[in-house]
Amino acid sequence: MLHAIENKKSRLPFTRYVSAAERPGERRTQEDEITSTIFGPLDFFSEETVRSLIGKIFGFSLSRDSKLSLAFWPRYNHVEPDLVFTEQHSDGSRDAYVVEIKWNAPLGEEQVERQVQAIEAEDHLRLAGHLVLSRYAIDVAKPSRNLTWMDFKDYCLELSEENGINPVAKKWAKMVCAFLEACEIRHFKGFDIIMSVAMDGLQDRDYLFWLGRQFDWDNILLPSKSFLSRCGEETIFYRSAAAL
């Protein structure tokens, strides 16, 4: 699928994961499909490449002397995290790094706590890291931390442009960026077109911009107080300064 998306041969990400995202009963399936599409290729990478990738993207510190394995939806006493990287050490101990993946579904009540307890109940297995990957920033219980898909995409973009990185990993990162872009995981880059709002009798509203953090405040022409009083509290568009 990643090849088809990168070459714009499919609109599946948008129709399946954006426009149909709220269909009842499909959220879990969508998350599993995205997990497999993005992280499935890691199953075919060398241990060294996977160790480097998850270290840079997730911030996990893995030992170079350990044996690394990857498991999708492993079961620990009826608990099933999405993605688990496991380090096998020479003394027989193991460290688990868990990635719980969310798309449009919320994080379950005490989901992090249940995963932590289930993994720590396993013999010779220690939870060394836990991360929740979500579409929007959310609060997660310790020891987990949150990473948004936008942050994840930014890390992949850096990897795709990094010199000296494994060519296979670089290609994967580039394709993942294309997939997430098709899923509308992207930075705000402005409006293609903005229809003029109906404000009869008001002038100076030919060019409209969102008054947000992504703009240079020095280049935004703020209306006068009298103009604002006539617009009403819900007006969110202002005319740009001539410098723009």
Domain final residue pick, 166, 182, 198: 182
Q: Are residues 219 and 176 in the same domain?
A: no
Q: What is the pTM of this model?
A: 0.71
Residue 130: C-alpha distances to residues 38, 110, 191, 225, 236 (Å): 18, 14, 37, 50, 39
Q: Are residues 71 and 140 in the same domain?
A: yes
Residues with Cβ within 8 Å of 99's Cβ and at least 6 positions away in sequence, in order, are 39, 58, 81, 82, 83, 84, 85, 131, 132, 133
* Residue 176 pLDDT level (bands cut at 50, 70, 90): very high
Q: Are residues 131 and 233 in the same domain?
A: no
Parent domain of 207: 190-244
Q: Are residues 17 and 122 in the same domain?
A: yes
Q: Are residues 37 and 128 in the same domain?
A: yes
Q: Are residues 175 and 225 in the same domain?
A: no
Note whether 45 and 168 are within 8 A (CB).
Answer: yes
Q: Are residues 140 and 194 in the same domain?
A: no
For Cα atoms 86, 88, 93, give the angle at the middle one, nearest 5 degrees.
105
Q: Give me the number of domains the chain comprises.
A: 2
Domain final residue pick, 133, 151, 182: 182
pLDDT tens digit sequence for 136-175 = 888 888 889 999 999 999 999 988 888 888 899 999 999 9
pLDDT tens digit sequence for 190-219 = 666 666 555 555 555 444 444 444 444 455
Domain final residue pick, 159, 182, 205: 182
Q: Are residues 60 and 100 in the same domain?
A: yes
High-pLDDT (> 90) share of the chain, %: 32
Q: Are residues 82 and 161 in the same domain?
A: yes
Q: Are residues 119 and 215 in the same domain?
A: no
Find tokens 């010779």 and name the residue.
Answer: 124
Q: Are residues 100 and 217 in the same domain?
A: no
Q: Are residues 128 and 178 in the same domain?
A: yes
